[in-house]
Chain A
Amino acid sequence: MLVMTAGAQYLTVSDDLRIMLSKDNPQLIAFDVLEATYSASNTVLIAIAPRKGSVFSRETLGAIEELTEASWQAPYSSRVDSLTNYNHSRALGDELIVEPLVENARSLSDADLARVEEIALNATELAGRLVSHDGRVSGLAINFVMPEVRDQAVFEVTDYLNAVLNEARASHSDIAYYLTGNVVLNRTLADAVEYDMGVLVPIVFFVIVIGATLLLRSVLGTLAIVFVILFALNTTLGFAGWLGLVLSPTITVMPVVVMVIAIATSVHVITIALANMRRDPDRNAAIAGSLRTNAWPVFLTSVTTAIGFLSLNASDSPPYRELGNLVAFGVLCVLFYSMTLLPAMLSILPLRTRRVRSKGSPLFERFGDFVVARSTFLLWFVALLVVALVTGIPRNEVSDNWTKLFDERYEFRRATDFVIQNLTGVNSLEFSLQAGREGGITDPEYLRHVDSFAEWLRRQPEVTHVQAFPGIMKRLNKNMHGDDPAFYRLPDDPDLAAQYLLLYELSVPFGSDLNDRIDIAKSATRMTVTVTGVSARGLREFDKRAQDWLRANTPDLATEASGMTMIFAYLTQRNIESMLRGTITGMALISFVLIGVFKSLRMGLISLVPNFVPAAMAFGLWGYVVGRVGLAGSIVTVVAFGIIVDDTIYFLSEYLKARREGYAAPEAVRETFRTVGPALCTTTAVLSTGFLVFAFSGYEGSQVLGLMVTITIVFALLADFLLLPPLLMAIDRRKL
């Protein structure tokens, strides 16, 4: 254990969202090409909102100017775009003047302010992105080029910006500042994971330890379990370290699952050992007896649980594959320690055996009677309930919306909501539009096509802003004709357009160049489309609509949208598809194992019902109540499956034992209720409480997983108690 644990020092944790993606994710590959061609897009958007009036005041513009300067000082910043440093171009005789829209805001006259307002609200580059159309909120966009390992950089950047904004808030009390963007998202994720790991996981630990103590009525027995948990966790983490794994936020689930399984396993071993001790004065013989009784079921449940988690390997997302492998390893550790460490500790610890009430509980006997008496009614009633719930499954929309990953507890969420409501969308689609030849971007035809695509996009209801290259050319054409608005159109002569562009490029300062919009060969330009109020499915449909439009109108430009937004729009779908395959494979494998174990094809097939139905019911209920399933949803089935299969195994093996002892099906059901009913009920209570703690996370990933696993486990108990027995009584009529 110590040797394994030593590996933990090699563990690294990353909060980079990119590690969610597999290397062959097609959207990621496209995005990497885009970033390598133009520039990296790690962004921060700061919204600046005066509490009263418009942003076109000396104070607010001054504040933006200060913030622009401070943003340039932010670590890793490569570009800052704001209302004040916007390169306004105009003509003065034979001179092309390109200068920041606002310089020395505090010295501007009222006439200057009016001029700035007029320019800003009419500039397609600004309005709807860096200034709201009503002029009440302004935006400041910072782009960062981050090192390969981004986690540290994300902290540096966000710490710096938060300090800058706090200072700005102190010196401009009439202005509100909001910070969002994918860099801030990464930071928030790190904070959320820290909270989950640092606060929620320990709570889960205490909840289930207290639960176990109540269950065992033995503090020292619980102590033994705590040791099994600690040993299993340390060994698993050490193992991950030795493998050199980079841990992701997803891994938060691992300790909880390992704890839960350690409890479930150890409780069985200790309960029987304690029961034996009451009868047998020889402690060690009692413990050995418990091992003999438990070895097989514990081995069996461990193997099926491990198989369940290993099926996470089907996931498209590397962190889930790692989670599956680590939990599977952890489960085997639990098996090992509960067969070695646990009996050793039980033998050493001065356990006291207490007289316990007679075996079985009258409550469960009555419950068993009820189930047997009403079996036909229950079968129909539960089946109807299942059907009713399952019809809710299609109501789930598969969607990961990063703007909703966190609840309002997090400032990031509040800031993002503010930006969406008051300034611009935060989801953007990136198009790299190819002109087909070097220097082709100034071809009038290319410019016309790109422009008509941009115009079509601007007419779409979900679009808040389109940043397109032709806008600059129109503006330059106008400037070159003495700022005559009639010339705000695309130049007809390709050479002239290229020369305008050269002139413009020679006029803009450092950090304002077009290298992030134009490729080096001037053969392609980048178009950034900001959208708002669109779900993942809406984004995919929007992308398809855009592609259809391109194919129909400008086939030469046809291309898919790319960008982080699009990666996430496809991510969950990809994962759910791959996880569906994995879950089915896992279930099939486990069913085969069960068929072999029960030596009965019929039992193996029947076991599918209580194993499969709870997850379906949980998703159905989710569909009615919430209706949105993210990435976390795709692994709920697998996580819950590993736990509920254990219940099925205990129930069915007890039932079969009774049947083999000669009981008829109804009698065997009564017998099963009496023997395993209380244990199943209490473990479910403990486990579901443990998972329920995660519902208090502010991070959707943990929240959804915690809630859905809880629901599934509870449904599983219902299925085991109310559906499985009537089913057995209906099908299993043969005599043994």
Chain B
Amino acid sequence: MRMIHARPVLVLLFVPCLVLLSWLNVPSFVYSATPEEIGLKIATEARARDDGFGNFTAREVMVLRNKQGQESRRQLRVKVLEVAGDGDKSLTVFDEPRDVKGTALLTHAHKKEADDQWLYLPALKRVKRISSSNKSGSFMGSEFSYEDLSPPEVEKFTYRYLRDEPCGDLTCTVTERFPVDKKSSGYSRQVVWQDKDELRTWKVEYYDRKDEHLKTLTIGKYKQYLDKYWRAGEMNMVNHLTGKSTDLTWTDYQFLTKLKARDFSKTGLKRAR
């Protein structure tokens, strides 16, 4: 009986709090709804802020390290084309190691269905389609999988906002995301740290299928391009299970290039250098 009397009091306290919160400079979704809705909203907003970049190119250098301290380098170039209403198209050209120089990987990402991928093998002068819808395997022997490297499509996950917490000088939202298609992902869930100002991702924790903390990705050296689009300069992936790690350095970001849709076709793939 006491609860009935208490409830109006709570509501009376709660409403002013909400009003107070709305005055603070926080994105409006933080207190608007269920954790699932908040999480989805953060993901949607983050993706929306990247809308309109058109295309860009960049260089990547990967340094792989095993528990033994042994190191190995991979070097690649990526070209990305924004596609309205669908996932991005991307072209990855391998420069190093030398024996795969000129090999190029074309990916047509999709919002819902599985991505399409083709690989051009210069030694064979042929394009081979990669049938597997699974992007969870190791990318070039590194601790990254292709799944980790591609920009996450909002629709491929469900979300749950967990909390806010300081990250460096910033404040981050901490959100969990769960793959919709459990079979094609290597993870049961990921925990993502994004700063509240620019919604850049600073850290991702990957949990394997038995929900054990498998890997941690830390991202840094963000730079803003075209006064709008943030791109990371450094990524580091540590595998807690094997003790192996991979450093990925991004350089030479170029936006507003002359890339066209046909550069991202199967015939364009053969010409990619």
| B183, closest chain A residue (CB) | A509
**Residues on B with beta carbons closer than 8 Å to the beta carbon of A76:** 212
**Residues on B with beta carbons closer than 8 Å to the beta carbon of A73:** 209-210
**Measured between alpha carbons, how far is A500 from B103 in the docked complex, in Å?**
10
**Measured between alpha carbons, how far is A166 from B33 in the docked complex, in Å?**
45
Binds A, one of B37-45, B128-136, B166-174: B128-136
Given contacts A495-B99, A509-B137, contact A39 B210 (CB under 8 A): no
Residue from A78, A496, A498, A503 within 8 A of B97 (CB atoms):
A498
**B77 contacts A by Cβ under 8 Å:** no
- A96:B131 contact, CB within 8 angstroms: yes
Interface residues of B in 29-77 (CB under 8 A from A): 64-68, 70-72
| B123, closest chain A residue (CB) | A496
**Measured between alpha carbons, how far is A35 from B67 in the docked complex, in Å?**
9
- A439:B97 contact, CB within 8 angstroms: yes
**Residues on A with beta carbons closer than 8 Å to the beta carbon of B123:** 493, 495-496, 499
- B141:A507 contact, CB within 8 angstroms: no
Interface residues of B in 182-212 (CB under 8 A from A): 184-186, 209-210, 212
Chain B residues with CB under 8 Å of chain A are 64-68, 70-72, 94, 97-100, 103, 105, 117, 119, 121-124, 126-132, 134, 136-141, 145-146, 184-186, 209-210, 212, 241-244
- A494:B66 contact, CB within 8 angstroms: no
Identify 16 new A-B residue pairs, CB closer than 8 A, beyond the known A503-B121, A518-B141, A521-B70: A72-B209, A75-B210, A78-B241, A94-B127, A145-B242, A438-B72, A480-B128, A496-B123, A496-B124, A500-B121, A505-B138, A508-B137, A509-B134, A519-B66, A520-B66, A522-B141
Residue from B72, B124, B241 within 8 A of A521 (CB atoms):
B72
- A522:B72 contact, CB within 8 angstroms: yes
| A512, closest chain B residue (CB) | B137
Given contacts A498-B99, A521-B72, contact A39 B242 (CB under 8 A): yes
**Measured between alpha carbons, how far is A509 from B244 in the docked complex, in Å?**
18
A90 to chain B, nearest CB (A): 9
**Residues on A with beta carbons closer than 8 Å to the beta carbon of B243:** 36
Residue from B137, B139, B141 within 8 A of A520 (CB atoms):
B141
**Measured between alpha carbons, how far is A581 from B255 in the docked complex, in Å?**
74
**A538 contacts B by Cβ under 8 Å:** no
In the complex, 26 of the A-B residue pairs with CB atoms within 8 angstroms, ordered by the A residue number, are: A72-B209, A74-B210, A78-B241, A493-B123, A495-B99, A495-B100, A497-B99, A499-B119, A500-B121, A502-B100, A503-B121, A503-B128, A505-B141, A506-B119, A506-B137, A509-B132, A509-B134, A509-B184, A510-B134, A510-B137, A512-B137, A513-B138, A513-B141, A515-B244, A518-B141, A521-B71
- A506:B105 contact, CB within 8 angstroms: yes
Residue from B64, B124, B185, B244 within 8 A of A499 (CB atoms):
B124
Given contacts A494-B99, A495-B122, A499-B121, contact A509 B129 (CB under 8 A): no
Given contacts A73-B210, A75-B210, A505-B140, contact A520 B64 (CB under 8 A): yes
**Residues on A with beta carbons closer than 8 Å to the beta carbon of B105:** 506
**A22 contacts B by Cβ under 8 Å:** no
Do most interface residues of chain A lie in helix, strand or loop, or is the interface mixed? mixed
- A36:B131 contact, CB within 8 angstroms: no
Interface-centre pick from B98, B123, B185 (highest chain A CB count, 10 A): B123
B226 to chain A, nearest CB (A): 31
**Measured between alpha carbons, how far is A218 from B209 in the docked complex, in Å?**
66
**Measured between alpha carbons, how far is A498 from B98 in the docked complex, in Å?**
9
- A37:B209 contact, CB within 8 angstroms: no
- B122:A506 contact, CB within 8 angstroms: no
**A99 contacts B by Cβ under 8 Å:** yes
**Measured between alpha carbons, how far is A35 from B123 in the docked complex, in Å?**
34
**Residues on B with beta carbons closer than 8 Å to the beta carbon of A244:** none
- B72:A513 contact, CB within 8 angstroms: no
- A36:B66 contact, CB within 8 angstroms: yes
**Measured between alpha carbons, how far is A277 from B124 in the docked complex, in Å?**
102
Residue from A72, A439, A518 within 8 A of B99 (CB atoms):
A439
Interface-centre pick from B137, B138, B139 (highest chain A CB count, 10 A): B137
- A98:B103 contact, CB within 8 angstroms: no
- B138:A96 contact, CB within 8 angstroms: no
**A165 contacts B by Cβ under 8 Å:** no
**Measured between alpha carbons, how far is A510 from B139 in the docked complex, in Å?**
10
Given contacts A95-B131, A96-B129, A99-B131, contact A442 B99 (CB under 8 A): yes
| B119, closest chain A residue (CB) | A503
Given contacts A96-B131, A509-B136, A515-B141, contact A502 B103 (CB under 8 A): yes
**Residues on A with beta carbons closer than 8 Å to the beta carbon of B121:** 496, 499-500, 503
- B244:A520 contact, CB within 8 angstroms: yes
Interface residues of A in 314-339 (CB under 8 A from B): none
**Measured between alpha carbons, how far is A493 from B184 in the docked complex, in Å?**
33
User: Closest 10 CB pairs between A and B?
Assistant: A510-B186, A510-B136, A498-B99, A496-B123, A36-B68, A521-B72, A36-B67, A509-B134, A513-B138, A97-B131
**Residues on B with beta carbons closer than 8 Å to the beta carbon of A95:** 128-131
A281 to chain B, nearest CB (A): 76
**A92 contacts B by Cβ under 8 Å:** yes
Interface residues of A in 41-99 (CB under 8 A from B): 72-78, 92, 94-99
B184 to chain A, nearest CB (A): 8
**Measured between alpha carbons, how far is A509 from B134 in the docked complex, in Å?**
6
**Measured between alpha carbons, how far is A508 from B209 in the docked complex, in Å?**
17
- B66:A37 contact, CB within 8 angstroms: yes
**Residues on B with beta carbons closer than 8 Å to the beta carbon of A499:** 99-100, 103, 119, 121-124
Q: Mark A618-647, 1 if CB is under 8 A from B, else 0.
A: 000000000000000000000000000000
- A520:B72 contact, CB within 8 angstroms: yes
A535 to chain B, nearest CB (A): 32
Given contacts A78-B241, A480-B124, contact A506 B64 (CB under 8 A): no
A510 to chain B, nearest CB (A): 3
Q: Mark A653-697, 1 if CB is under 8 A from B, else 0.
A: 000000000000000000000000000000000000000000000
**Measured between alpha carbons, how far is A508 from B137 in the docked complex, in Å?**
6
**Measured between alpha carbons, how far is A76 from B210 in the docked complex, in Å?**
9
**Measured between alpha carbons, how far is A736 from B160 in the docked complex, in Å?**
98
**A596 contacts B by Cβ under 8 Å:** no
B152 to chain A, nearest CB (A): 16
Interface-centre pick from B64, B146, B242 (highest chain A CB count, 10 A): B242
